[in-house]
């Protein structure tokens, strides 16, 4: 299982690569939408990345400010989903 810091690093790398920002250009504890880094489509892209990279399930009901409100909240969501065994079929079959 990945550490929180490893999850954070992978998530930040994805955000920087796909949304053309540098790690020091946004606050990890504030909403990426509010900061103008991403829009609602960006949230969908990040959720797809989470499912692919970390093998977790992301339901539509999960895509709220409690789970997607900041990088830190997304990291906590990924770690929580992994710990609770909320994995995609690909991961649960492995």
CATH number for the domain that contains residue 86: 1.10.1200.10
pLDDT tens per residue across span 9-65? 999 999 999 999 999 999 999 999 999 999 999 999 999 999 999 999 999 999 999
50 in Cβ contact with 79 (< 8 Å): no
Q: Which residues, other chains included, contact 24 with Cβ-Cβ below 8 Å and sequence gap of 6+?
A: none
What's the total number of domains in the chain?
A: 1
The C-alpha atoms of residue 84 and residue 35 are separated, in whole angstroms, by: 30
pLDDT tens per residue across span 51-85? 999 999 999 999 999 999 999 999 999 999 998 88
Domain containing 42: what range? Answer: 4-18+28-92
Tell me, what's the pLDDT at 28? 98
Query: Percentage of the chain with pLDDT > 70?
Result: 94
Alpha carbon distance, N-terminus to C-terminus of the chain: 14
68 part of a folded domain: yes
Residue indicated by tokens 């490893």:
6
74 part of a folded domain: yes
66 part of a folded domain: yes
23 part of a folded domain: no
Structure tokens at 58: 């992301």
59 part of a folded domain: yes
61 in Cβ contact with 86 (< 8 Å): no
* pTM assigned to the model: 0.89
Degrees (nearest 5) of the Cα angle 81, 41, 89? 35
43 part of a folded domain: yes
32 part of a folded domain: yes
56 part of a folded domain: yes
């Amino acid at each position: 299982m990945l550490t929180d810091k490893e999850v954070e690093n992978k998530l930040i790398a994805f955000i920087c690569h796909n949304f053309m920002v540098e790690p020091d250009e946004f606050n990890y504890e504030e909403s990426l939408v509010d900061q103008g880094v991403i829009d609602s489509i960006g949230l969908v892209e990040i959720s797809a990345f989470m499912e692919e990279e970390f093998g977790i399930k992301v339901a539509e009901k999960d895509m709220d400010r409690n789970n997607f409100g900041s990088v830190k909240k997304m990291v906590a969501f990924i770690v929580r989903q992994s710990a609770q065994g909320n994995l995609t079929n690909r991961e649960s079959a492995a």
